[in-house]
Amino acid sequence: MHADYACSEGCGFRASLLDIVYRCPRCGSLLEVAHDLEALRATPASEWKRRFEGRFGAARIPDASGVWGKREWAYPQLPVEDIVSLGEGRVPLKALPRMASALGLGALDLMECGVSPTGSFKDWGMTVLVSAVKHLRSRGVPVRAVACASTGDTSAALAAYCAAAGIPAVVFLPRDKVSLAQLVQPIANGARVLSLDTDFDGCMRLVQAVTADTGLYLANSMNSLRIEGQKMIAVELCQDLGWEPPDWVVIPGGNLGNASALGRGFELMLSLGLITRRPRIAVAQAQRANPFARAFRGGFREWVPMQAEHTLASAIQIGNPVSFRRAVRMLQAFEGVVEEATESELANAAARADREGTFACPQTGVALAAVEKLVARGVIARDARVAVISTAHGLKFADFKVGYHRSALADVASAYANPPVNLPAELDAVKAALADLSGP
Ligand SMILES: *Cc1c(COP(=O)(O)O)cnc(C)c1O
Ligand SMILES: [Zn+2]
């Protein structure tokens, strides 16, 4: 089995996965990794399922990785010794039965992609990209370092995988626009951290210019290798559900690479016969960084990048998403919609889900708020089975949680605030504080 780069707009350009190329040199579009579908079809769907499930319980890499346990669908010709894995994927699918029943849904499941080595779904894609770079270097291709611009989580993933592989990493971060936990991750992993006085889109422009001619390899999601790992989120979700896709998948979108990857995962399963039905997909954006939602409302007739405003959902504070076109195609193929959430809506939705035992990041809050709004508007039907892609661990966003429960977040009315009770160390005071205990 063998995969190549191909132009994602179908102009016919192809290149080897060993070439360093991020965009189609003929038409400027993004690339995609094109798999040999005929060769993949030679294996029946039942055998793919059996093989994937067999590897799922493994204790050792590569089978124990949620990505490399499905390696024939990611980077099939990559030698196993070049795999750089930290044990990504194989995440919990957490049911939210109380929220589901309050909304009248058949099921509401949270796919906890942030329960992962660096705490976000970015690990799913970064393992493929850094493995590909290790493979290039082991073949003598002079890659000095790997670089990315980031809203926080991409740089954490890049730094960790590069540290594991012994490859230098450079990260471009917008100053004061990532959480402290996100900033300290690449620092700890030994990356060169450039904290720039701009926003994500400004970092993106600079990293693209720098990687054009300096022997630095570009790790942003315009690099289609990452998409090949992230699409396994769709595959693992279906596997978790007994190969029966949910009715709806709701996913937060910033640069829109992950939403595109989700669609690719479903497309591949459909074309190989592992599933027979298409879920519908909803992309959720923060109202303050909603270029995709605006374009959707305009029927995608025009596409205007915007200046993203400050939002608690800082990982999706992006005004000029690089994967816009592939996300539009995905949305049309999956009868998709785009919904948006205000600061108050995203914070309260995250807090509501936390009360069922998760620890939702603000971006996941955007997706959960979108579920509430789409149900209220009748777009998601009663009794529908809904899966939400939780993109990061809430522990990365401790300030957001603390601020919420102190009712101290700007533009947020904390409906589920649960501040600590400050008491003198006296038994009577303690007993009084416990007189009216109720469940979460
Ligand atoms: C990167 C990121 C997103 C957005 O993913 P895109 O591929 O940029 O749309 C959402 N949530 C979190 C936590 C992220 O780190
Ligand atoms: Zn092209």
How many folded domains does the chain comprise? 1
Q: Which ligand is nearest to the CA of 223?
A: 1
| Contact yes or no for 100/106 (Cβ under 8 A) | yes
Let me know if residue 75 belongs to a domain: no
Task: Output the ligand 1 site: residues, CB below 6 A.
Answer: 120, 122, 153, 221, 252-259, 315-316, 361, 363, 391-392
Let me know if residue 304 belongs to a domain: yes
Apex CA 32: angle with CA 30 and CA 37, to 5°? 155
Q: How far apart are CA 365 and CA 345, in angstroms?
A: 8
Give residue 41 CA to ligand 1 midpoint distance, Å: 32
Let me know if residue 208 belongs to a domain: no
Pocket test residue of 260, 363, 368, 388 for ligand 1, highest count of atoms within 8 A of CB? 363
Q: What is the CATH number of the domain that holds 357?
A: 3.40.50.1100
Per-residue pLDDT tens listing for the chain (440 residues): 899 999 999 999 999 999 999 999 999 999 999 999 999 999 999 999 999 999 999 999 999 999 999 999 999 999 999 999 999 999 999 999 999 999 999 999 999 999 999 999 999 999 999 999 999 999 999 999 999 998 899 999 999 999 999 999 999 999 988 888 889 999 999 999 999 999 888 999 999 999 887 789 999 878 999 999 999 999 999 999 999 999 999 999 999 999 999 999 999 999 999 999 999 999 999 999 999 999 999 999 998 999 999 999 999 999 999 999 999 999 999 999 999 999 999 999 999 999 999 999 999 999 999 999 999 999 999 999 999 999 999 999 999 999 999 999 999 999 999 999 999 999 999 999 999 988 78
Walk across the sheet containing 216-218 and list its strands: 192-196, 169-174, 145-149, 216-218
Pocket test residue of 391, 395, 396, 400 for ligand 1, highest count of atoms within 8 A of CB? 391
Q: How far apart are CA 71 and CA 231, in angstroms?
A: 12
Structural domain harbouring 329: 93-117+227-405
Let me know if residue 425 belongs to a domain: no
* Atom of ligand 1 at shortest range from CA of 258: 7
Question: Which residues lie below 8 Å from residue 431, measured CB to CB, with a gap of 6+?
Answer: none
Let me know if residue 176 belongs to a domain: no
Report the residue count for the chain: 440
User: 0.95 exceeded by the pTM?
Assistant: yes
* DSSP-derived secondary structure letter, 397: G
Chain center to CA of 124: 8
Give residue 364 CA to ligand 1 midpoint distance, Å: 10
Give residue 222 CA to ligand 2 midpoint distance, Å: 14
Question: Whose alpha carbon is nearest atom 14 of ligand 1?
Answer: 315
Give residue 254 CA to ligand 1 midpoint distance, Å: 6
Q: How far apart are CA 109 and CA 419, in angstroms?
A: 27
Give residue 118 CA to ligand 2 midpoint distance, Å: 34
In the prediction, which pLDDT does 440 show?
82
Q: Which ligand is nearest to the CA of 14?
A: 2
Pocket test residue of 118, 153, 364, 389 for ligand 1, highest count of atoms within 8 A of CB? 153
Let me know if residue 277 belongs to a domain: yes
Give residue 387 CA to ligand 2 midpoint distance, Å: 34
pLDDT digits (tens, 9 = 90+) for 353-394: 999 999 999 999 999 999 999 999 999 999 999 999 999 999
Let me know if residue 325 belongs to a domain: yes
Q: Which ligand is nearest to the CA of 10?
A: 2
Let me know if residue 222 belongs to a domain: no
